[in-house]
Amino acid sequence: MSAPPDLPADLARPWQALLARLAGLDSLLVAFSGGVDSTLLLAAARQALGDRAVAALCVGQFTPPWEVDRARRLARQLQVRLIEADARELDDPDIAANPPERCYHCKRRRLILLQELAAREGLAAVAEGSQADDAHEHRPGARAVAELGVLSPLAETGLGKEAIRRLSRALGLETAAVPSGACLATRIPWGTPLTPQSLHRVARAEAAVRQLLPGRQLRLRDHFPLARLELEPAAIPSAAAEPLRSRLCQAVQNAGYRFVTLDLAGYRSGGANPHLTGS
């Protein structure tokens, strides 16, 4: 996949810098979720390294099933070999307790697993999809990336979220307009222990909501037995009106919740923890 010849200079320069950075590696294992950032990184790695670029997808109880499906499809489209591995996050008590630093412990566990996979596969390095704008957000997992020496080529070449989406669009990647994603644990407030049952409940309910609101940015926050829906503001009026209101309630209650609320503040990153978002 090469950059279109009419790519604007402000995109062509970082794209070429990204390709050059990746081409300097002997081989690479890309931490791949099927989201906008890791998909662009994988597409670039495929162009720069060919078959010496391999994707790794962490599956298991923390990974939304709709993201697994998309990642598998995208890996096939990009003609990149995909390795799937389960990090078994709940085996770690520092993760299962769901403290504010959960993301650090989870990211570290996953990256160590990928480094072990890379070593077994004879791959020289591991890269993940952090980008330049992430430095301005609360991301405890960034510490694990630095500690383990995992590469972040998008951030290294100065690519932020807007440029990544524009590049993805120019390259014909379907993820150009995909809403941002996150693991299922982010739906549950800090301090509430994580269990297979709670994660399954969240996944089942949110999958049903996503079927009713395809392509929308949304989260289902778990305050069991209450479910709080965060939707992008444009979707709130229709979600609060019939017939969608009744369908959303029924879908979420079928997953095991008793109460269903619609958060008028709308979707915001980290919305499971109001003291973090300021809501």
Q: Model confidence over 47-93: pLDDT tens digits?
A: 999 999 999 999 999 999 999 999 999 999 999 999 999 999 999 99
- Predicted confidence (pLDDT) at residue 236 exceeds the cutoff of 90: yes
User: What is the percentage of the chain residues whose pLDDT exceeds 70?
Assistant: 95
Give residue 142's pLDDT band: very low, low, confident or very high (50, 70, 90). Answer: confident
Q: CB under 8 Å to 131, separation ≥6 — which residues? A: 37, 152, 154, 155, 159, 160, 161, 164
Return d(Cα 187, Cα 221) in angstroms, integer.
5
Give residue 210's pLDDT band: very low, low, confident or very high (50, 70, 90). Answer: very high
Q: Domain count for the chain, please give it.
A: 2
Q: Establish if 3 belongs to a structural domain.
A: no
Q: Which pLDDT score, from 0 to 100, does residue 7 have? A: 81
CB 32 within 8 A of CB 57: yes
Q: CB under 8 Å to 74, separation ≥6 — which residues? A: 34, 39, 42, 174, 175
Place of tokens 């309630």: 249
Q: Which pLDDT score, from 0 to 100, does residue 4 have? A: 58
Q: Which pLDDT score, from 0 to 100, does residue 154 have? A: 96
Q: What is the mean pLDDT of residues 180-208?
A: 96
Backbone phi and psi for residue 191, each to the nearest 5 degrees, phi listed first: 90, -15
Q: What is the pTM of this model?
A: 0.91
Q: What is the pLDDT of residues 148-171, one digit of tens each?
A: 999 999 999 999 999 999 999 999
Interhelix angle for 141-148 vs 102-121, to 10°? 30
Domain residue limits at 83 = 9-177
Query: Among 33, 142, 153, 152, which residue's Cα sits nearest to residue 84?
Result: 33
CB 93 within 8 A of CB 68: no
- Predicted confidence (pLDDT) at residue 136 exceeds the cutoff of 70: no
Q: Which pLDDT score, from 0 to 100, does residue 5 have? A: 56
Backbone phi and psi for residue 219, each to the nearest 5 degrees, phi listed first: -145, 145
- Predicted confidence (pLDDT) at residue 143 exceeds the cutoff of 60: yes
Q: Establish if 111 belongs to a structural domain.
A: yes
Interhelix angle for 161-170 vs 9-23, to 10°? 90
Q: Which pLDDT score, from 0 to 100, does residue 270 have? A: 78
- Predicted confidence (pLDDT) at residue 231 exceeds the cutoff of 50: yes
Q: Is 194 exposed, middle or buried (0-12, 13-18, 19+ CB in 10 A)?
A: buried
Lookup: tokens for 246 = 């009744």
Verify that 135 and 60 share a domain, yes or no: yes
- Predicted confidence (pLDDT) at residue 274 exceeds the cutoff of 70: no
Q: What is the pLDDT of residues 238-256, one digit of tens each?
A: 999 999 999 999 999 999 9
Q: Which pLDDT score, from 0 to 100, does residue 2 have? A: 53
Verify that 166 and 96 share a domain, yes or no: yes
Last residue of one domain, picked from the residues 177, 197, 215: 177
Verify that 172 and 36 share a domain, yes or no: yes
Q: Domain holding 257: CATH number?
A: 3.30.70
Length of the chain in residues, anyone? 279
Q: What is Dmax (Cα atoms) for the chain?
A: 57
Q: What is the mean pLDDT of the chain?
A: 93
Place of tokens 């931490």: 31
Last residue of one domain, picked from the residues 120, 148, 177: 177
- Predicted confidence (pLDDT) at residue 137 exceeds the cutoff of 70: no
Phi-psi region of 79 (alpha: psi -120 to 50; beta: other; left: phi over 0): left
